[in-house]
Structure 1
C-alpha cells in the first residue's frame, strides 16, 4: 500500500469515528445529559482528520508541479 493510499484509508476511518462521535453527542443532548466529555469526544478524531485532510488537499498542488515538468520534457 502506498503512503497516499494509507493516508486516505486513515482519513476514511477517522471520518467514520468522527461521525459516530457527533451522533453520540446529539443523542446525549437529546437525552438531556450534560456530560462535557461526550462533547469533547468528537475532538479526538477531528484533530488528526484535519491533518490528513490538509495533506490530501495539498497533494494535487504539490504533485501537479512535478507532473507538469515531466510532461514538458517529452
Structure 2
C-alpha cells in the first residue's frame, strides 16, 4: 500500500512548483470498515485534481496504465504481465 500511495503523491507533484506543493499538500485518506465476518470495505479519498476523462474511460481496461513502458513501470509489474 505504501508503494501505491507514494507513487500517487509523486505523480501528482510532477507538474507543480515547490511553492504550490507547500501551499496545497497532497493528502490521501484510507478508511477500512468491517462489512461482515468475511468482508471488509476499503475507501480511498484524496484532495487531488481528479482523473482526466480520457483516463477515466479506460480505467478498468486490462493492463491499462498511465505509466511509461520501460521507464516508470518496474519489473514486478512487467513480469506479472509476462511480456
Q: The TM-score by the shorter chain falls in which range?
A: under 0.3
Greater relative contact order (Cα 8 A, min sep 6): structure 1 or 2? 1
What TM-score does the superposition give when structure 1 sets the normalisation length?
0.25
Which structure: larger Rg? 1
Higher strand share: 2
